[in-house]
Structure 1
Amino acid sequence: MREYYITKNDSGQRLNKFLEKAVPLLSGGMMHKYLRLKRIKVNNKRTEAAYKLAEGDSVQLYLNDEYFDAPKEEEAFRRIKTPRVRVVYEDEHILLADKAPGMVVHADEHGDTDTLIAHIQAYLFQSGAWNPDDAASFAPALCNRIDRNTGGIVIAAKTAEALRILNDKIKDREMEKRYLCIVHGRPKPPEGLIENYLRRDEKRKQVTLHRTRVPGAKTARTRYRTLTSHDRLSLVECELLTGRTHQIRAHMASIGCPLLGDGKYGTNELNRPYGETGQALYAYSLTFRFAQDAGALQYLNGKTFKVKDIPFVKKYFPNFKP
């Protein structure tokens, strides 16, 4: 139990406003729950969130220690008040989220815990769909990931069974993932298959392409088709036949059409006139194509989910409809 004594500086404010500052990891929904359960009291009596604190009051909090400790990465969801989750589709087993460009999916090397998975867990926790106290061995998890500056569909499993099935299906390539991107120039031919070997350089955080297999390289295959072009830009749909790091960015650059805004595989000279600082790439379409039975997720077989509101498409190709 934690107890706070209200001083002159803290008096005159509502209890809920005081708790937002005193216990920042306590969400509004949980605060109201604990008020009903009498785990939050004022002067050892049941109270309401709107109670106006007075000097000399004492606030008793019968809460778990994690609300007072700095959250670990796996508990970062507890400090999120308003989850930023754009839901494309959700049912009892899975959630498809439209990740915004700029958000990381998991904590990166800088220790950033303001991640997509933390926001999804906060969303499910606050909605009552997931209670970590009821399933100590499982937490909602992501089944795939995309780069920080790439937007689009990310799959989250809400149950351990769904996580197991989806991991197997991704491994067996029983999902069809399509991306929209804007590239400089006009691909020649307008559609085709790019196939070579990709090796990742961990120090440079970049990949290199090779015509023949070299140590550490993996097969990379991308099918692309040009949807429309104008001026010096083209809108291209890419289908990932393999899922390698930076695959689309490196592949399109290899045919002389780097992505708009991509400074790593493109050039500042090309990007500067447009003022774009992040690659124009979006994982906009996901289709489940199960070759083998998917158990509890078999109902998803053959279904396609798409993101239709893609900012860079509306900006440069406003007449195109995904």
Structure 2
Amino acid sequence: MKEYHITSNDSGQRLNKFLGKTVPLLSGGQMHKYLRLKRIKINGKRTEASYKLIAGDVVQLYLNDSYFDAPQEEDAYRHISHPRVRVVYEDSHILLADKAPGMVVHADERGGTDTLIAHIQAYLYQSGTWEPSAAASFAPALCNRIDRNTGGIVIAAKTAEALRILNDRIKSRELEKRYLCVVHGRPQPAEGLIENYLRRDETRKQVTLHSTRVPGAKTARTRYRTLASSGRLSLVECELLTGRTHQIRAHMASIGCPLLGDGKYGVNERNRPYGEFGQALYAYSLSFHFQTDAGALSYLDGKTFTVQDVPFVQKYFPEYHL
């Protein structure tokens, strides 16, 4: 018999969801069978799959060892001895990390485990702020993601409560994200709003822009502002009013100013003289503007966090200060 003591990180979810995470070898049919046979109990009593767990509950599983002893792939964070996490801000609920260009946030099709979330989990585990055994179904998780070659702020939730709140606030557009980019040319006008429809091509891993709505396309809106220009390059700040795949890259290319280093939406011949082969794009600023009750995260309302050290700004516009 195994017991799981429910903490605040595991509370609020249905029992069947909890079991799906903690005992993945237990099928749905077997779960319902063992519920009927009282081999799965809550606090020593018969229960239902729809029961919502609360802190203090004890989940008791009278199941064969084979459900628990099957070989499992070790968690990636346990293999990281020196976590690479550049902390912008941290408290008991969240961690804001400055992701380096070239690092993936989650495992991609290449299947590697050297990911931002693995390094964040290793950092929290080694610092003693996260104990995996204390929350059977929860692990620190990312609330947003950015492309491999884009750097900048990524939000990690350290508690299940923070993850639920932030996911809701992101969906309702209560977080403001600003990006810095270096583009070829000088945007005309110097600032403005780009608004059209964006459709993602999963086969080509690329997006196309359309002036009218077409099947599969979504509204895409970017506000941009030129901060400085030097020679054939400009430093531009972009604010995402919608969060679509490759939105800034496609939008800036659409006005004749592709991002420096972007071979997908630009032209590599223009990038080659600079030796840049990854887009010069950085999620440098994050602001919280809550319009609804954010519960335990209400203290973040009105706060802005920025990355001051953006490599391509120092390289191409050293006189400009963020």
Same fold (TM over 0.5): yes
Where does 1:209-220 land on structure 2 (aligned, <5 Å)? 209-220=209-220
Q: After the TM superposition, which segments of 4 or more aligned residues of structure 1 sit over 6 Å from their partners?
A: none
Q: CA deviation at 1:71?
A: 3.8
The match for 1:115 is: 115
Separation of aligned partners in 1, 2:119 and 2:229: 37
Where does 1:162-173 land on structure 2 (aligned, <5 Å)? 162-173=162-173
Residue 314 (str. 1) matches residue 322 (str. 2): no
Q: CA deviation at 1:285?
A: 0.1
Letter in 2 for 1:282: Y
The match for 1:290 is: 290
The match for 2:77 is: 77
Secondary structure in 1 aligned to 2:134? coil
Secondary structure in 2 aligned to 1:133? helix
The match for 1:129 is: 129
TM-score scaled to structure 2, two decimals? 0.78
Segments of 5+ residues of structure 2 without an aligned counterpart are: 1-70
Percent identical pairs in the alignment equals 82
The match for 1:104 is: 104
Residue 229 (str. 1) matches residue 237 (str. 2): no
- Deviations for 1:237-282, whole angstroms, at most 9, x for unmatched residues? 0000000000000000000000000000000111011010100000
Separation of aligned partners in 2, 1:119 and 1:150: 17
Where does 1:118-157 land on structure 2 (aligned, <5 Å)? 118-157=118-157
Q: CA deviation at 1:196?
A: 0.3
Secondary structure in 1 aligned to 2:315? helix
Separation of aligned partners in 1, 2:315 and 2:191: 23
Separation of aligned partners in 1, 2:295 and 2:199: 36
Is the Cα–Cα contact under 8 Å of residues 104 and 147 in structure 1 kept in the other structure?
yes
Is the Cα–Cα contact under 8 Å of residues 105 and 146 in structure 1 kept in the other structure?
yes
Separation of aligned partners in 1, 2:123 and 2:91: 14
The match for 2:196 is: 196
Secondary structure in 1 aligned to 2:287? strand
Letter in 2 for 1:125: Y
Separation of aligned partners in 2, 1:230 and 1:263: 21
Letter in 2 for 1:139: A
Secondary structure in 1 aligned to 2:224? strand
Q: CA deviation at 1:163?
A: 0.1
The match for 2:180 is: 180
Secondary structure in 1 aligned to 2:270? helix
Secondary structure in 2 aligned to 1:167? helix
Separation of aligned partners in 1, 2:292 and 2:97: 25
Q: CA deviation at 1:319?
A: 1.0
Separation of aligned partners in 1, 2:73 and 2:317: 43
CA RMSD of superposed structures (Å): 1.1
Separation of aligned partners in 2, 1:158 and 1:321: 32
The match for 2:274 is: 274
Is the Cα–Cα contact under 8 Å of residues 71 and 78 in structure 1 kept in the other structure?
no
Separation of aligned partners in 2, 1:194 and 1:312: 24
Secondary structure in 2 aligned to 1:200? strand
Letter in 1 for 2:237: E
Letter in 2 for 1:175: L
The match for 1:4 is: none
Q: Residues 137 and 70 of structure 1: is their aligned pair in 2 closer, same or farther, counting only changes over 3 Å?
A: closer
Separation of aligned partners in 2, 1:161 and 1:154: 18
- Deviations for 1:154-185, whole angstroms, at most 9, x for unmatched residues? 00000000000000000000000000000000
Q: Residues 289 and 307 of structure 1: is their aligned pair in 2 closer, same or farther, counting only changes over 3 Å?
A: same
TM-score scaled to structure 1, two decimals? 0.78
Separation of aligned partners in 1, 2:136 and 2:72: 19
Separation of aligned partners in 1, 2:72 and 2:130: 21
Separation of aligned partners in 2, 1:143 and 1:150: 16
Letter in 2 for 1:131: E
Q: CA deviation at 1:70?
A: 7.7
The match for 2:263 is: 263
Letter in 1 for 2:307: V
